[in-house]
Structure formats: structure tokens, C-alpha cells
Amino acid sequence: MNTNPANLYSLPEFAARNKISKSTIYVLIKDGNLEITKRGHKTYISADQERAYLDSLPTGGTELLNKGYQDLPPYSGEAA
């Protein structure tokens, strides 16, 4: 049973809905790309923030993928 306030998602719910890890969520929050809402000791992400996150993702299909691969430095076999 979902006991969360309407239009708010817990961090695990948000992660599952968007197929990202909780660690990624923490990075998005830290970098200012995702705002949280606190209700007592619980942390939520609003549906509006979810929409803003989804709208910020790149689109473009294979053209974007090809461009991304061209911008990568050559593989040297060493860890960065």
C-alpha cells in the first residue's frame, strides 16, 4: 500500500520509475539537477521534479549516440 502524499515519490520509488540507481539520485540532488521535498524525516521527489528531470534528458537516437562515441578519447587501457 502506498502511503506517500499525492504526487510525491520516495527515492526508491523514483529510482524504480526512472530506472536509475539511488546513487544517481544523490548525484543529481548534489549537483542541483533535482530538488527534494522533506515531510518529517522522509525525503520525496515531486512529480513536477520528475517531469523536469525527464525533460532534461538528451534525445536524438543514433545521431546522439554516434556523436557521443566520437567525442570520447581513445581507450588507453588505464583507469581514469
Q: What is the DSSP letter of 69?
A: H
How many angstroms separate the CA atoms of 43 and 15, rounded? Answer: 13
pLDDT tens digit string along 15-67? Answer: 999 999 999 999 999 999 999 999 999 999 999 999 999 998 887 666 656 66
Higher pLDDT, 80 or 73: 73
Residues 51, 57, 58: CA angle, nearest 5 degrees:
145
The conformation of residue 25, written as its DSSP 8-state character, comes to H
- Taking 80 as the threshold, does the pLDDT of residue 76 lie above it? no
Sign for the pseudo-dihedral over CA of 14, 18, 19, 20: negative
Structural domains present in the chain: 8-71 (1.10.1660)
